[in-house]
Amino acid sequence: MERFRIGQRFTSASRSVTREDLATFARWEGLRVSDGVAPAAFGVILAAELDRSEDQGGPPYRVLESSWSYHRPIRVGDALRLEVTITGCDSADNGERVIHRHLALVTDGGEQVQAGTDRIAVSAGHSGAPDPRSVIGSLDWAAALAELLSRDARFRSATDQWDGTIGLRCGDREMQLRIYRGRVIETARRTPLGATFTVAASELTWTELLTGPRNDFMRLAMRGRFSVIGNGYEYLRLAKVLSVLVDNARLLTEEGEYR
């Protein structure tokens, strides 16, 4: 029984785009194709084909929602592979497992041509039981993170004189840590006075940060992969606290992987 986990990656075989591919797509969609350039929607179809071809014999699934972005046109002769990253594992009310994924069509030279995200539903019998902490930014995740922080002397020391709230946003999920004198006294979607500041990024960025070889928060933040909403002065003043917080979030992800 396969158990999906945050940071798990799959890569398909490379496939060259042909004129016959574009002609077939044009007939399906009733479009004209010229100059060997594929219509924008062709990438979605190609990604689905590569995903299915890579997952032959894998569990059946259905797509709950998806979004897609276009970086440059796909052309005849492009050799493309699909790179899939698991960014979250959750449970649905009907007992299915909901897998969050980031998908990218990448050339053999490493250029990302198109990319997107989706959530797929997989039968519980095929995916194993998810760790309730395995959706970054969920309340279960926040509670487990708060417990780890309460045991970290670095965190207690760095926040001993601080009274405020740190918000963490992963994609469209946000939670807040209410901190008072070295302790996380509340975790919630919203706290009464709101967040002092909120650190926000995509599911993929959080996944890369928490499953990568090192704590690269500051480097990713300086590259614009994270954004900060709210009190920028307090954000800068608590740089050490954020580094410790990420250390513990990485530990939480590692523990979840081996549960």
User: What is the end-to-end Cα distance of the chain in Å, rounded?
Assistant: 15
Classify residue 3: in a domain, yes or no.
Answer: no
Same domain? For 123 and 28 the reply is yes
- Which of 12-21, 49-58, 95-104, 227-236 is predicted with the least confidence, judged by mean pLDDT? 49-58
Selected residue with higher pLDDT from 139 and 129: 139
Q: How many domains does the chain have?
A: 2
Classify residue 24: in a domain, yes or no.
Answer: yes
Question: Containing domain of residue 195, as a range?
Answer: 139-257
Distance between CA atoms of 29 and 188, rounded to whole angstroms? 46
Query: Does the pLDDT at position 128 exceed 70?
Result: no
| C-alpha gyration radius of the chain | 21
Same domain? For 226 and 178 the reply is yes
Supply the CATH number for residue 157's domain. 3.30.1050.10
Classify residue 174: in a domain, yes or no.
Answer: yes
| 13-66: pLDDT as tens digits | 999 999 888 888 877 766 666 677 888 788 998 999 998 876 655 678 889 999
Same domain? For 160 and 249 the reply is yes
State residue 123 phi and psi, 5-degree precision: -55, 135
| 169-185: pLDDT as tens digits | 999 999 999 999 999 99
Same domain? For 31 and 114 the reply is yes
Same domain? For 61 and 112 the reply is yes
Which of 95, 127, 159 is the C-terminal boundary of a domain?
Answer: 127
- Look at residue 213 and give its three-state secondary structure: coil
Classify residue 133: in a domain, yes or no.
Answer: no
